[in-house]
Structure formats: C-alpha cells, structure tokens
Structure 1
Amino acid sequence: VGFGLAEVILEDERVEDIYINAPIGKVPLIVKHSEYGELRTNIIPSVRDAYGWASRFRMMSGRALDDANPVLDTELETENFRARVAIVQEPLSPQGLSFVFRRHRERPFTLPLLIHYNSLTPLAAGLIWFLVDGARTILVAGTRGSGKTSLLGACMIEIMRKFRIITVEDTLELPVNYMRNLDYDILSMKVGSAIAGTGGEMPAPEGIRTTLRLGDSALIIGEVRSKEAIALYEAMRIGALANVVAGTIHGDSAYGVFDRVVHDLDVPVTSFKATDIIIIAQKIRSPDGLEEKRRVTSIVEVRKHWEKDPFIEKGFVPLMTYDAKEDRIKPERALIEGDSEVIKSIAGSVREWAGKWDLVWEEIVLRSKIYELIVKTAQERKYLELMESDFIVIANETYHKLFKKLKEEQGYPETKDLLFLFEEWLKAELKKRGK
C-alpha cells in the first residue's frame, strides 16, 4: 500500500516491531523479532520516503501531524497484517520524523495458544474463562510489550457469541474484524487520541458514556490512559452494561494499577472498588539479558471492604502468582480454599453453585482440563489450528451445550462424564478434518 520495505518486513508473522529513528536517511531500520530480538538491518529509508509516509498516514487517519501536534497515533491494515503506527516529528523530535510500527497478529490470540507458549497454565486459563463468563470487571495490566493487548484479545474470544460486544479504542488494535468474521455481534468505536491531535473525533470519555445508551453489551477498552478512566469506572459502578467490562492499562502490580488509576487518572478511591480482577502480564528476562519471555505473573482479586489503601487494608487478594523457579503461575491459598469473594459472587447467582465451593472449584478445574486436552491434542498431532480462535469459539460453545445436555439428564453434570463427551466430540472433529 505504498510503505516500501517496511511493509514487506511487516508481512513476516515473527516481526513484532519496526523502529525508524531520526535523523532519517542516516540511521538504519531496526526490527524486533520474536526469535532473534532486536536486529539492525542494512535498510536506510530515504527522507523522501519518510515524508511521503507521514503525509499518507496523516491523510488516512484524518488526524493532525504538525508543529502544534507533533505526535500521530494511527493504524495500518492490509490483507496480510495489522499494525499500530506512532509518528513523532519536530519540535518533539528535534532531528525530524521517526516511526514505530507494532505488528499485531492477524488472528486473535486464544487462551490455549497462550498455554502452548507457556505464558500461562491451564488452570489460569480455566479461571479466566470462568471469570469472563461470570461477567466480571477485569483490568489487564503490564509493562510495554508484555502482551496486554494479546491477552485482552484472548479474553474477548471467551465471550459467548450470543452477547454483544462494544470496543472503544483511539488506535484500532483489537481483532474486531476477525471476530466479526467469526459471527460475533461486535461494534467498534474509534475515539480521539489522548496524546495527539484528533481532528473531529469524539473524546474517549464521551465515547465510553455513549456505550451506556447502546444496550446490554460487553465493553472492551483498548487502553485506559487518560480521563476516560473516570467514565469507565462510572460504567463499571452502575453495572450498565450487564456483562464483562475489560481493558488494558500500564502497571506492573495490582497496587501500581491502583496508584495510576487513582492518583494519575483522578478516579475516586471508592470507585476503584468496581474493579473485580487485575491480571498482570510481564516480560521475564533471562539472567544474561539476551532472552525475553512473556508470562502472566498474577491474577489478583480486588475486595470491597477497605477505605483508603487496598494494599495496607488487604484489599488485594492474589488468586494465582508466578513462581520464578518453576516458571509458571500457581494457585494461591485463597483460590484453593475458596476464599474468593469475586468467585463466590459469581457462584451466588447460580442456584446449583450457591454455597457449594466444591462444585465451583470443579467447574474451574474442568475448564482447565478442557483447554489442556485441546493443547495436548494439537501438540501431539502437530495440528496447531486447534488452538486458533476459529476452533476455540466452537469448542467453548460445545462445552456449554454438553453441560446443558448433561444437566437435563443428571440434574448436575458429573465432571468425568462431561470431559468424556467433550473428548469424544474432539475426536469426531479431528476425524472430520482428516487429522
């Protein structure tokens, strides 16, 4: 589409980022590769190319890029890839234009894929699936490049297709088009950038408030970065959307998220209690500093019985925590022993689960076994397509249908029976596909 070798490089699925630094014409293009890390190339874009790209992105986005608005956030989508684009120019960048392209996977990540890549365990995946089905409010937090958006996309795939989804983003990064092709009822809303000139776009807070007038929906916020946080917490507190509310935010711990939301973004302390779950994703570096791996390092419950500081008043209760020695996230006592107010709240609205922690725990473990079975089968048969969103959406719906079928027959499904029926269904699906 006219972006030269940068466009060609972005067609490689293993490319994560491209950096083109100022001064253009003197500095080589840098590629961040999923296997080889940062690579210095022998490609040096020309000044003419750079100014041509900047003009094209300005025109495509409808956003300003000039001395008064020296930052442009936008996106680039072709038949072969999607990428987020950030452009900086003078006076913010004294030596002229610079570009950053962040490539997004064409298909959304799924929880089984994240298990396959060791980013989380089957139990963590089963818990997240349960929490999304339970219509909780979830913040996915982490440092830059930790996989927050990928994890949020995986959470979106856990939403059943019978529910409507509304996404609000200032730069389109979520896999909306692909999910629409999977027959999701999904509405994408694009709002003005919090850090750049936005032209005639609606500000993010007004965009979020608009979703409250669009009917019962799951609400997904691409990234919480500025004053839209206040509008988001308004939506969360009144429960206007009647389904899961989720988004990403920068922060490396539950308290870091609280500190940012309350002290940086001016959300009232009491409003923060509308957050049910904080999932932290981080980059873990090897001792030599040469390798990085992405891991979900904690799943934390936010309790409601505190007044000023949830850290001091024990308002943060870890459900799962990363063990560096074992390189995996492990369940904490609160999860194992049923001391989770959020999970109890979900169970309390289901007649069969109310007051029966054993059944709730069995449900979470069963979901983890479903995903463990899918991942193991995909790996053994070298058929990784089983872990992609196209199949996972069908698998999740099959699980719910089998649960309903056994419930009608048995009163309440036996775990072993449900797992057996799912395994038989999986075998039949593989046979259909010649695998």
Structure 2
Amino acid sequence: MTLLDRVRAAGNETPAASRATRDEMLEWLKGRVREQLPADDIASLAKGNPERARNEIRAVCRAAFEGSGRFDTGLAEQEALADTLIDSMLGFGPLEPFLADESITEIMVNGSRSLFYERDGVLHQSEFCFASDDEVRMLIDRIIGPLGRRIDESSPMVNARLAQGHRVNAIVPPLTLDGPMLTIRTFSSRVITLQDMVESGSIEECVQRLLIWAVRARKSIAVSGGTGSGKTTLLNALSCHVPPDERIITIEDSAELRFSEHPHVVRLEARPRNAEGVGEVTIRDLVANALRMRPDRIIVGECRGGEALDMLSAMNTGHEGSLTTLHANSPKEAISRLVTMVRFVADLPVDVIESQIASAFDLIVQTARGADGSRMVSQIAVISPGESIRECIVAPIYQRDICGGAGVWLSAPEWVGDLVKLGIATDKEVQSWKEMSLCVS
C-alpha cells in the first residue's frame, strides 16, 4: 500500500463531514502527518533537503483531506492549513507572517504571555500569542539547532544569525522569570540607500551630499547613536558609496551589512565560544587579522571593546576612510566612550588616547530616534586636533531637532575646499552645496 493509500485509509475511519475550528483541524492534520512521517524522519529530511521535506508534508496533507470526509473545507483552506502546519513543523511557525512582512523590523516573544512587533519604529501588540511556554521553547530549539547552537540551564542565553541575515537573541529560565524570551531583529532584503533616507525624511539632501563626499574623500567616519536609532542602516548606506576599485573588509559580531553592487567585499564574522567553552574569535582578533589582508577600507559593524585600540592604530597607519558605529548619545560622549574602550586593554593616558582619536576620525554622525519612531541624523561633528598635540576638538557643523523641522548648518568642514582638486566634485557642485546648506552666495 502506498503512502497516499495509507493516509486515505486512515482518514476514512473518521466520522462524517462536520465543521470544526481551525485549531481542531490543525491538530487532526498534524496527527495524520505524524502517523506517516515520524518526527525523526522529518528532522533528518529537513536538514538535508528542506524543500523536499516541505513537499512530503504537503503531499500527506493533501492525501489526508482527500481521504476524509470529516471536515467541510475548500481547496484554498486546505492549502492554508497545510502551509500553517509546514511552518510550525519546519519554519518559524506563527512567526512566519511577521518575518515575511518587510515593514516589520523587530519581533519580540515574551513567553506565552504576549507577542509584540515593531513597525516604522513603533511597537504593536499582536493578537496572537503562543499556547504555552513549551511551544516557545520548542521554537527556539528549532531556530538555533541548525546553527549548531544550544540553549539550556547551563547555557541559558544565545545570540545567533539566521541564514536570511536576521539576528536572534534567546534567553530562558532560570535567567527569565516569565518563561523563554525570543527577540528577532529582521533586515530587509533590499539595502536602504542614502537616497531612500532623503525620501523618508531621515536626512536632508545637503546631508546626503556631504556624507557621500566624505566617503569618497576617504574620511574616517563614526556613526554614533542609541539602540534602534538606525546606526547600522546608515553605516550600510555609507558603505555603498565606497569606490568599486577599493577592497572592503567588513568585521561584525553578527553579519548585517549587505552590498548589492560592490565587486570586492570580504565579510568577516566573530565567533562565540562553543559548548566546551573554546573556539572564540573576537572582533579584535578579526581587526588584527584584517590588517594582513590588504584592506583599502575596514568597516567594523560596532566598536564596543578592545578593538577600538586596533581600529585607531589602523586608521593612523594608512587605512583612512574606515567606518564604524558605536553607542553614544552625542559626538562628545562618543569620544569618551572610545577612550574608555581603549583603556580596557591599554593603560594609556587619556590625553594620548584623545590625540589618537583626533588623528584617526574626521566625522562623527549622530543618529537619533524620535518619540514617533522616526529615525534621523541629528548632528554631524568634525573631529580635529587642538592647539595642543594631545587635544581632541569636537566641533558640531550640523544640528537638527528630533522633534521635527529642518537642520541648521553651523559651518562646513575644511576639506570641502579640496574636493575639486581631488576630482570628487566640481566647483559648481561645491558652490551649490554651500548655497543650499550655508546660505552662502
């Protein structure tokens, strides 16, 4: 007897057709699939050939409905039930619709109590919630299992990156008091450009032009801001303007940067300790290694530790034009943060570190997030050495109120006057920018 015949025979044993709730139909369908496809077989098949596993489950579902008169359902509803079951067995289950919606940037599962998602910077509570904490825990295991990670009482936290690029954080009891927690930061399949940011109001056209010039002129830039303020998105948009004849090496804790057109990008990703507590490769290790890989530009996704010292050394020894992000609420605070990071790994005087920062960085671009969830560039500051060789001057040149309105330019960077000689902009373009931003005629 074939597989389809067995399913039809099993289905014929059920009572006559009747209307049932969606949950009842799913449970019945899951039982039929489990009878014909043991869980171990499904897991093995999904690991080796996910598409075939989906097709096998779909075939069993179709046969189950064909051989049963229990449920009064149309073909479209049957297909929808099969899709839901497949997602719950192989994919992200109830989270699939959220992941498929590119307008959603964050998904937060608070055990079985609630599920929230972020769209356009604003939190929304979903009507859906998981039936039990065990269901959430099984989903977490299904997500991190193929990534070679584990989570249990001895290792109750995990950070991972999915094949689609989404960033996952999971934390379970005993560290959480209200069940297992799952947070997924999603990323659009399309790279958001500076032009997209102009159209959405995140930056002004004059800001876009200056930032493009800064990247092409090999100015080292730090993007600072709070959590969720759009630092990585802006960093990615800036990276897209690196000339195609330069070799880019990106270094990230969890690979998020994407390049759709640049022909020469080498992507490196840090690695945590394994279950035995060995095998860790830090961002600092990768920065040191990147210097031996003939980089034209080094892009560090986030600078938050000892790698700050290696970045400063690289920028001051021939790797101008490097880019990074860091957590800070203002450009001045960004300098203090960098000093603190360096002092974690080197017992150097503060003034010496600040002089290195002044030599290494040219611009700090501050991002901010408004109360309505909107993200914008709120400040741009020029970094330069002071009169004393061991002094770091932070001079704001652009400011914008996060409550709305146009930004105000206070001055222009000195290097804007060199753009014509470098062949990056024409004299007419520079003059037009000054008229637009500084009201200089």
Determine if the TM-score, normalized by the shorter chain, exceeds 0.5: yes
Larger RCO, structures 1/2 (Cα 8 Å, 6+ apart): 1
Equivalent residue, structure 1, for 2:365: 279
Q: Please point out which of 258, 263, 266 is paired with 1:175.
A: 258
What is the TM-score with the length of structure 1 in the denominator? 0.70
Equivalent residue, structure 1, for 2:293: 214
Task: Say if 1:325 and 1:61 are closer, same or farther in 2 by CA, change over 3 A.
Answer: closer
Q: Please point out which of 305, 311, 314 is paired with 1:232.
A: 311
Contact 1:140 1:152 in 2 (8 A): yes
Equivalent residue, structure 1, for 2:84: none
The whole-number CA distance in structure 1 between the counterparts of 2:129 and 2:302 is: 32
List alignment gaps of at least 5 residues for structure 1.
286-290, 369-435
* CA deviation map 1:273-292 (0-9, x unaligned): 2111100010122xxxxx23
**3-state DSSP of counterpart to 1:192:** coil
Aligned ranges for residues 239-388 of structure 1 at < 5 Å?
Answer: 239=318, 241=319, 243-266=320-343, 268-273=353-358, 274-285=360-371, 291-305=372-386, 306=388, 310=392, 315-323=393-401, 327-332=405-410, 334-335=411-412, 340-343=413-416, 347=419, 350=421, 361-362=430-431
What is the TM-score with the length of structure 2 in the denominator? 0.69
* CA deviation map 1:257-309 (0-9, x unaligned): 11111124527333222111100010122xxxxx2321101111101125666
**3-state DSSP of counterpart to 1:295:** strand
The whole-number CA distance in structure 1 between the counterparts of 2:302 and 2:206 is: 26
Residue 112 (structure 1) aligned with residue 189 (structure 2):
no
The residue identity in structure 2 corresponding to 1:192 is R
List alignment gaps of at least 5 residues for structure 2.
1-89, 347-352
Identical-residue share of aligned pairs (%): 23
Residue 40 (structure 1) aligned with residue 121 (structure 2):
no
**3-state DSSP of counterpart to 2:114:** coil
- 1:191 is displaced (CA, Å) by 0.8
In the alignment of these two chains, the number of paired residues is 336
| Structure with max Cα Rg | 2
Contact 1:63 1:199 in 2 (8 A): no
The root-mean-square deviation of aligned C-alpha atoms, in Å, is 3.1
The residue identity in structure 2 corresponding to 1:316 is V
- 1:246 is displaced (CA, Å) by 0.4
* CA deviation map 1:300-348 (0-9, x unaligned): 11011256664xxxx111221114676222321x21xxxx34545x549
Residue 5 (structure 1) aligned with residue 94 (structure 2):
yes
**3-state DSSP of counterpart to 2:400:** strand
Equivalent residue, structure 2, for 1:124: 207
Residue 166 (structure 1) aligned with residue 246 (structure 2):
no
Equivalent residue, structure 2, for 1:190: 269
Residue 19 (structure 1) aligned with residue 108 (structure 2):
yes
**3-state DSSP of counterpart to 2:304:** coil
- 1:32 is displaced (CA, Å) by 1.4
Task: Say if 1:34 and 1:308 are closer, same or farther in 2 by CA, change over 3 A.
Answer: same
Task: Say if 1:325 and 1:57 are closer, same or farther in 2 by CA, change over 3 A.
Answer: closer
Task: Say if 1:71 and 1:275 are closer, same or farther in 2 by CA, change over 3 A.
Answer: farther
* CA deviation map 1:84-127 (0-9, x unaligned): 11112234324442111111121111111100011111110000
**3-state DSSP of counterpart to 1:127:** helix
The residue identity in structure 2 corresponding to 1:222 is G
* CA deviation map 1:227-272 (0-9, x unaligned): 2222221211212x3x521011111111111111112452733322
Task: Say if 1:192 and 1:120 are closer, same or farther in 2 by CA, change over 3 A.
Answer: same
The residue identity in structure 2 corresponding to 1:159 is V
The whole-number CA distance in structure 1 between the counterparts of 2:426 and 2:336 is: 33
Contact 1:50 1:97 in 2 (8 A): yes
Contact 1:63 1:197 in 2 (8 A): no
The whole-number CA distance in structure 1 between the counterparts of 2:303 and 2:141 is: 28
Residue 205 (structure 1) aligned with residue 284 (structure 2):
yes
The whole-number CA distance in structure 1 between the counterparts of 2:430 and 2:374 is: 30
Q: Please point out which of 178, 182, 188 is paired with 1:99.
A: 182
